[in-house]
Amino acid sequence: MRFVLTPKVAASDTVSRGTLLILTQVYVPDPAAVGQQLADVGKEMARQGWRVVVYASDRGYDDPTARYPRREIRDGVEIRRLPFSSFGKGSIALRLIAQSCLLLQAVLRGLFTRDLRLVLVTTAPPFAGFAGLIVSWLRRARLVWWVMDLNPDQMIAAGKLRPDSWIARACDAINRLTLRRSDAVVILDRFMTDRVLAKLDVPDKVHVMPPWPHDDVLRRRPSRPNRFRSEQRFGDAFVVMYSGNHAIQHPLETLLDAAAKLEQEPDWLFAFVGGGAGKASVERRVANGATNVVSLPFQPLEAIGESLSAADVQVVSMGNDMVGIVHPCKIYGALSVGRPILFFGPQRSHIGDLLKEHAIGHVVPHGDVDAAVAAMRELRAMSELDRVRLGDRAAQVASKEFSRAELLMRFCGILAGDGE
């Protein structure tokens, strides 16, 4: 397992480095985090002299009624959005049909992309790696697989798929083939790396590095005064916020039960910002009359700093069975804006390691509502100075360990194969 740090290269120093093809379900302005990370990579690789072409869905992943231009150029990146590739998250069958349509179109177009030298795929959609493998093999291009979550592992852990089913075995066979054929594999944390290498032992291809926060729009700022807080009429409430994808892999029931327990106490507010299948549990609480719970939609990237900073505490959640399968990226935004972290999940995890090492929050086991209430009361009872110091530590962790500039350049070096 290697780490590569590549110096910045001016676009004027490079001429016709070839075409980088990115196959993905989502790309900006879709608010999904994967698309935002890929947009950073595309912009930087274009700056370094690559022609960057993206094939993505023409509709929103979380909201299929959102439609994006079929063709556009953003930051020097040529974006081609494909039809019939997003029908929402209503059912697994619909998602599979949409993803299959997307990848089939992307493969056919990729085979005729001129001067193709590099192919980058993530695990969104899950079988993008296999699609990238076909294109890279037939076009003899370098393939980099960015593993952001694992399937069929997620489906098995969620009880939606048996580990001995033919679908699970076929998915794992595809994963092993993608690992074998990839030139480089980027994985987000050590727990996920262990799972990936258990499928196929290829440590020489693996680079372990976390995603980066968008520190150009995320910075340390007070929660009061705050434009987003004022617009949402949070007033002087102590705001506990969960912001991002409300996936079923990130259970929120313990937090919601803690909110119910605190409902009769004044000035507590629980804000849930974003969308996803898990948002239904929040919406039910609101529909049933919860007075201290608010549900808000995804915020645009340029406004995310204000919305995250409106909170006094940021929440991160991960299911007990999801360690090494998913990686809650929302932790980095919470750190960047300097907020204490309330993590619902197992201590032995990437987030648990961070909180223990840097003393920047609390770990609460799923199901322990009393522990959740106690942790929140402790954070609220802190003096303003102590809470500011705690937030300062969190922001320092973000700037020192998760610098966007350094991680992005490292990733682009891996992508281009510099130093190999």
pLDDT tens-place string over residues 322-338: 999 999 999 999 999 99
pLDDT tens-place string over residues 68-119: 999 999 999 999 999 987 766 666 677 778 888 999 999 999 999 999 999 9
According to the model, what pLDDT value does residue 16 have?
63
pLDDT tens-place string over residues 223-236: 788 899 999 999 99
**Helix residue spans in 23-158 (DSSP H):** 33-47, 92-110, 128-139, 153-157
According to the model, what pLDDT value does residue 86 have?
72
What is the H or E stretch that residue 314 is in? strand 313-317
Decide if pLDDT at 15 tops 60.
Answer: no
Q: Are residues 33 and 64 in the same domain?
A: yes
According to the model, what pLDDT value does residue 283 have?
94
Q: Are residues 19 and 106 in the same domain?
A: yes
Looking up residue 350, the CATH number of its domain turns out to be 3.40.50.2000
Distance CA 200, CA 173 (A): 10
Q: Are residues 27 and 175 in the same domain?
A: yes
The average confidence (pLDDT) of the chain is 90
Please indicate, yes or no, if residue 2 is contained in any of the structural domains: no
Q: How many CB atoms lie within 10 A of CB 167?
A: 11
Query: Contact 62/23 with Cβ under 8 angstroms?
Result: no
Q: Are residues 148 and 49 in the same domain?
A: yes
According to the model, what pLDDT value does residue 11 have?
42
Q: How many domains does the chain have?
A: 2
According to the model, what pLDDT value does residue 12 have?
40
Q: Are residues 274 and 408 in the same domain?
A: no
Per the structure, the complete domain to which residue 26 belongs is given by 11-212+403-416
Q: Are residues 17 and 82 in the same domain?
A: yes
Q: Are residues 154 and 299 in the same domain?
A: no
Q: 217: pLDDT confidence band, cut at 50, 70 and 90? A: low
Minimum mean pLDDT range among 74-88, 137-151, 163-177, 324-338 = 74-88
Q: Are residues 57 and 122 in the same domain?
A: yes
**Helix residue spans in 322-368 (DSSP H):** 330-336, 350-358
The average pLDDT across 126-131 equals: 92
Please indicate, yes or no, if residue 89 is contained in any of the structural domains: yes
Q: Are residues 379 and 409 in the same domain?
A: no
Q: 31: pLDDT confidence band, cut at 50, 70 and 90? A: confident
Decide if pLDDT at 2 tops 60.
Answer: no
pLDDT tens-place string over residues 391-410: 899 999 998 999 999 999 99
Please indicate, yes or no, if residue 132 is contained in any of the structural domains: yes
Decide if pLDDT at 210 tops 50.
Answer: yes
Q: Are residues 71 and 173 in the same domain?
A: yes
According to the model, what pLDDT value does residue 343 have?
98
CA geometry: angle 59, 63, 65, nearest 5 deg: 60
Q: Are residues 202 and 84 in the same domain?
A: yes
Cα-Cα-Cα-Cα torsion 100, 101, 103, 105, nearest 10 degrees, comes to 160
Please indicate, yes or no, if residue 218 is contained in any of the structural domains: no
Q: Are residues 363 and 247 in the same domain?
A: yes
